[in-house]
Amino acid sequence: MKKFTKQTIAVLAILTVIFTAVKCTKHNQVLDSTPAAANTDSLSCIKGTATLQPIGGSAWDGTIEAVWNNVPKLTVHATVPDLGNGTFAGFIGNSTDITLRSMYDAANIYFLVEWNADMKCLASSPWYYNPTTMRWAQEASAPVQNSGATTFRPPFIQDQFVIMFNIANSCPTFNSLSCYAACHVNTTFGDSTMTGGVMHTNGPTELLDVWRARMLQVMNVNQANDCYIDNGAGALNANEVHNDLQVNNGPTPAADGGFSNKQTLKISGLVTTIKVSVPMFVIPSGIYSNGAIMQSDTLPGGKAVKVTKVDTFGVLTLANGVKLDPSTATSGTAFQQVGTGDGPNCIPGSIVSNYTGSRGDVTANAYWTGTGWRLLLKRALKTADAVNDVDLSSLATQPFGVGAMFNGADNEHAIVAGLKLHFNK
């Protein structure tokens, strides 16, 4: 067994007190027992106004406005922790420095976030053609071990950044543990094959506000996902991260934030009924701006065309009669896996659209510098969602935590807990 550090012993002592003072509402709920020692660094939020590109506006060119020059910086070192249960396997120990700056004015709060990453990840489980099986398949969003080898094919998932706040000081353990207060291990959820943890709070009155900037969404529609964490009425082994209230919740074309670019079709030309999964829409030119098909592209007159048929060789027939053959000499490997990546014409796995309602409260701009990300966030100090959003209008000091997903990580995020947001009045 690895030797415990003094920091680990200190955190375990804190958690022992918490377990004594707080009664869990889930029968097998376990708080993470090995978070990094609480980081009490304070981020100074000073008066000022930043400019963000609005939804549908031109892309941010990465220029940092002069108004940010005199804003104090807080640089923290974020590391993917070992939760002791395999949740973050394959990414444990990955780290990056995150630099934070913040401003506020009479109506809004602004954050400028910068962190380094080895590669730009915007893909979201793209479609590729397998010439051996003559079938279409999607890249995995988690590391996949190659058959008969010890190497792993990297996942295809977009880079992300998360910031988390305590709503109305409702979660008592958040002040000392921030995001670790909602990180529960030794449970499983959904169809995950991992033994990892889920996120939920400890009681029905505890709520956390989460702003999750998915770079595919930010780069295309200038929004971060505004969501919240609750305890799910005590449901066991359930991931209780929920989107804020939305206007559009139905199927296409009213999907909120987009939808999966996937459908099941019968293979044409066969007597027997064999169904396979294929993309729902493709852009015939093979050019996907920022790795996305926009929902507007799928509407009448848009650039995307629906796939209506697939034959036994994987040839797709589009609604306009055009055939897309991924196995010709001309297409080469353009639709196939190439090394650890994909060919240039592989098809996005997601359709992207705007978030609506309270889910769309956080405006975001992102820029890839070549060595990392610059991210701008803007939200009203007080939103119309009094239940699921933190109210910052009092300008009281707020505990918060941050997480960064990079280099193919999804939920395996590098974490910094125990931060404080201090408003300079």
pLDDT tens by residue, 20-43: 233 333 323 333 333 444 445 899
Answer yes or no: do 34 and 77 share one domain: yes
* Domain count across the chain: 2
Answer yes or no: do 114 and 169 share one domain: yes
Question: pLDDT of 260-315, one tens digit each?
Answer: 999 999 999 887 789 999 999 999 999 988 888 999 999 999 999 999 999 999 99
Within-domain flag for 151: no
Q: In sequence order, what are the residues at sequence separation of 6 or more whose Cβ sits closer than 8 angstroms to the Cβ of residue 206? A: 170, 171, 172, 230, 231
Q: Which of 82-91, 93-102, 412-421 comes out lowest in average pLDDT?
A: 82-91
Answer yes or no: do 378 and 329 share one domain: no
Within-domain flag for 178: yes
Reported as a pLDDT band with limits 50, 70 and 90, residue 157 is confident
We report the CATH number of the domain holding residue 17 as 2.60.40.1190
Answer yes or no: do 236 and 344 share one domain: no
**Which pairing describes strands 414-423 and 42-47: parallel, antiparallel, or unpaired?**
parallel
**Is the bond preceding residue 399 a cis peptide, omega within 30 degrees?**
no
H, E, C per residue of 47-70: ECCCCCCCCCCCCCCCCCCHHHCC
pLDDT at 149 exceeding the cut of 60? no
Residue 45, strand partner residues: 102, 423
Residue with token string 């993917």: 80
143 CB-side CA count, 13 A:
17
Within-domain flag for 259: yes
Q: Which of 3-17, 175-189, 196-210, 264-278 comes out lowest in average pLDDT?
A: 3-17
Over range 117-121, report the average pLDDT: 85
149 CB-side CA count, 13 A:
7
Question: Of 352, 368, 393, which closes a domain?
Answer: 352
Within-domain flag for 152: no
Answer yes or no: do 259 and 237 share one domain: no
Nearest-angstrom CA–CA distance, 87 and 85: 6
Answer yes or no: do 348 and 412 share one domain: no
Q: 184 and 199 in contact (C-beta within 8 Å)? A: yes
Question: Of 312, 334, 352, which closes a domain?
Answer: 352
Answer yes or no: do 201 and 315 share one domain: no
Answer yes or no: do 187 and 212 share one domain: yes
CB atoms within 10 A of CB 131: 14
* Cα dist from 247 to 210, 251, 266, 355, 392, whole Å: 19, 12, 34, 9, 24
* Cα dist from 169 to 14, 181, 319, whole Å: 19, 13, 53
- What's the angle, vertex CA 347, arms to CA 345 and CA 348, rounded to 5? 130
Answer yes or no: do 348 and 275 share one domain: yes
Nearest-angstrom CA–CA distance, 162 and 139: 24
* Cα dist from 115 to 78, 98, 119, 160, 371, whole Å: 10, 5, 12, 11, 9
Answer yes or no: do 331 and 205 share one domain: no
Question: Of 317, 333, 352, which closes a domain?
Answer: 352
Within-domain flag for 338: yes
Nearest-angstrom CA–CA distance, 45 and 47: 7
Answer yes or no: do 12 and 78 share one domain: yes
Domain of residue 200 covers 6-59+70-120+158-246+359-423
Within-domain flag for 170: yes
Within-domain flag for 1: no
Q: 232 and 242 in contact (C-beta within 8 Å)? A: no
Q: Is the dihedral of CA 390, 408, 123, 102 positive or negative?
A: positive
Residue 112, strand partner residues: 101, 376
Within-domain flag for 334: yes
Q: Is the dihedral of CA 8, 14, 20, 26 positive or negative?
A: negative
The DSSP letter of residue 316 is E
Over range 231-248, report the average pLDDT: 79
Answer yes or no: do 34 and 86 share one domain: yes
Q: In sequence order, what are the residues at sequence separation of 6 or more whose Cβ sits closer than 8 angstroms to the Cβ of residue 297? A: 281, 283, 303, 304
